[in-house]
């Protein structure tokens, strides 16, 4: 029962609860020990604004292999319109099933979207965060 509540709560936060952020201090985008399910060919995105260069940090695992992207607003708009990532500022490439992945991506000031995409045609994957995903000033 507790796991179901955590999954539903985390999915709500990722799809509806994040507002663009501003500032230079470390900020948590996704809390540690969060889990959420991501249906086949679907994605969740977190948008934020930074005023200085930052590093996106965090450690997570997934059950079926996902791709993480850092997108600009026009790239995210194209994904929202087409359902496919055409261009991107950064990509993790396909992350292996059941592996632990550490985000460590430097981004410049501006508006960005951190996107978790499930390229599996049908199957839902579960993404679990060992550490918080944070924006840390460079």
- pTM recorded for the entire structure: 0.80
What is the domain range of residue 20?
2-133
117: left (phi over 0), alpha (psi -120 to 50) or beta: beta
Residue 138 located in a structural domain? no
pLDDT tens, residue order, the chain (138 aa):
333 323 333 332 333 333 333 444 468 999 999 999 999 999 999 999 999 999 999 999 999 999 999 999 999 999 999 888 889 999 999 999 999 999 999 999 999 999 999 999 999 999 999 999 999 999
Structural domain count, the chain: 1
Q: Phi and psi for 136 in degrees, rounded to 5?
A: -115, 130
Residue 70 located in a structural domain? yes
Residue 49 located in a structural domain? yes
The CATH code of the domain that includes 6 is 2.60.120
Residue 112 located in a structural domain? yes
**Residue 98 DSSP code:** T
């Amino acid at each position: 029962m507790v796991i179901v509540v955590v999954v539903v709560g985390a999915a709500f936060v990722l799809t509806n609860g994040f507002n663009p952020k501003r500032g230079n201090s470390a900020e948590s985008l996704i809390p540690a020990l969060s889990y959420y399910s991501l249906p086949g060919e679907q994605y969740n995105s977190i948008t934020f604004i930074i005023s200085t260069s930052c590093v996106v940090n965090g450690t997570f695992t997934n059950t079926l292999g996902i791709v993480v992207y850092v997108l600009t607003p026009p790239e995210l708009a194209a994904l929202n319109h087409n359902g496919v990532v055409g261009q991107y500022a950064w990509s993790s490439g396909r992350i292996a099933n059941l592996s632990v992945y550490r985000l460590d991506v430097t981004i410049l000031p501006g508006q960005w979207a951190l996107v978790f995409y499930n390229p599996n045609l049908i199957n839902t994957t579960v993404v679990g965060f060992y550490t918080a995903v944070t924006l840390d000033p460079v």
